[in-house]
Chain A
């Protein structure tokens, strides 16, 4: 397929297909319904399986089954539906199963609304289910990047045998942008000797399970996961930098909001303020390394901008660790700030104190 105009939600689906995913289980919810809509048409064309489950709880557990059988499998939803999937995510991690989950976030809490938001950051990054676990989280900012990160997501999931969440918002899901679909995508996926596909002549059985009754054995399983998470922290931090080399003030934002914030940095430079942007691409592992770098350069203060009450703010504060003031500007509930209002907030930031500010 050549360069084409595509909706973000369609790109989640097409990106998955190009990554070799042939199994989707999901349930419609605005603003991500075009993901199942698109895959309902496309997956059968590729010899894949599309199944509309009876609920999000069923979707994630069907994904568990397909993952246990060695398939590259996708489910997607929006905020309230993702809440329903949290138990299943914990089981997927406990069973060390690869799976990709797309969350096109909307305004919460509760039923909230269908407007774009980033209020599920904590849930995605800190873990919304039970147990000591981590899910890798990728945050694309454009429709083209969705295509690219869907492939990354499936690769990381298989490499680490862990679920990966791709976190977008209503803007990203609904907007159309040109995408280049070069090449054919992936034709083969890694072999999975652990998958439950019958004994294949072996005398031992593969068992996929998260039950670990003996505390010492469960502790060992947890420490094995911890070891995996440390490797991920060391090797998988990804971020984008924009004009950071001489920047005195660093704006930090993820997803589509980072694009608004880039426009703020441009406008600030027009007005003589040396501003730059760090856009975390992996939200977990959080790209601490990006902050080490800019602190060594010229960064005197940070301004975190989010579509929530200040969630990623905490990870930025942990990365900066008191060495520089970290300010915050957020619009919760489905409201997206304008370039002008972020610019006003930027001008109020101080190099002396951060005041512990939230909204």
Chain B
């Protein structure tokens, strides 16, 4: 198993820490992991992305140039990265901010109203963790429990009171992801 996930969106959407959450969860399960941020001038322009690799074997290249999964939290990121996803991979969008479906027919696509779900759970800032949960439920790259346990590592101590809300986001997402996987397995 090797998953290379590209997570992209605006600064402030928790893109970097969501990626770290996946990397920590993989590490805690004894998998090989790498996390790499975009740190270029585009960061100063408000967009952010990071690549996470989770693998059963040693990671040759930590760069995520051909992701197996793309998580897009805003519209420009879909335009920019849609074509890079490997055939057979998956694109997950935050449909609250991305108002079109993927033009690719050779991969899986799921639109997640992440902002709405996050607001319902209490804070729009956990939207990225809803979509990460969907990815985890769909791919099984890590267990949801590991991602929940990793919250303690990624969130600074002063934010630990937000762990229950983030846990709910991951679990709600994971249920959606699992349902999508079953639907895909049943109907193709």
Contact = CB atoms under 8 A, between A and B. Distances in A.
Contacts of A31: 39
B60 A177 contact: no
B20 interface: yes
B39 A260 contact: no
Contacts of A114: 39-41
Contacts of B61: 259-260, 262-263, 339
B62 A30 contact: no
A259 B64 CA distance: 13
A5 interface: yes
A113 interface: yes
Contact of A256 (B35, B62, B153): B62
A174 interface: yes
A259 B20 contact: no
Nearest to A334: B40
A35 to B, nearest CB: 14
A147 to B, nearest CB: 15
A259 B27 contact: no
Given A114-B41, A176-B23, A5 B33 contact: yes
A224 interface: no
Interface size class of B (residues with CB under 8 A): 20 to 34
Nearest to B66: A338
Contact of A176 (B20, B40, B65, B66): B20
Contact of B34 (A176, A262, A336): A176
B59 interface: yes
A3 B40 contact: no
B111 interface: no
Nearest to B16: A176
A174 B60 contact: no
Interface size class of A (residues with CB under 8 A): 20 to 34
B63 interface: yes
A137 interface: no
B65 A338 contact: yes
A5 B37 contact: no
Nearest to A341: B65
A109 interface: no
B178 interface: no
Pick the most buried of B20, B24, B36, B65: most chain A CB atoms within 10 A of its CB. B36
A340 B65 CA distance: 10
Contacts of B66: 338, 340
Pick the most buried of B20, B24, B60, B65: most chain A CB atoms within 10 A of its CB. B60
A5 B59 contact: no
A297 B34 CA distance: 34
Interface in B31-81: 32-37, 39-41, 59-63, 65-66
B20 to A, nearest CB: 7
Interface of B: 20, 23-24, 27, 32-37, 39-41, 59-63, 65-66, 153
9 contacts: A5-B27, A31-B39, A114-B39, A171-B62, A176-B20, A177-B35, A256-B62, A259-B60, A262-B60
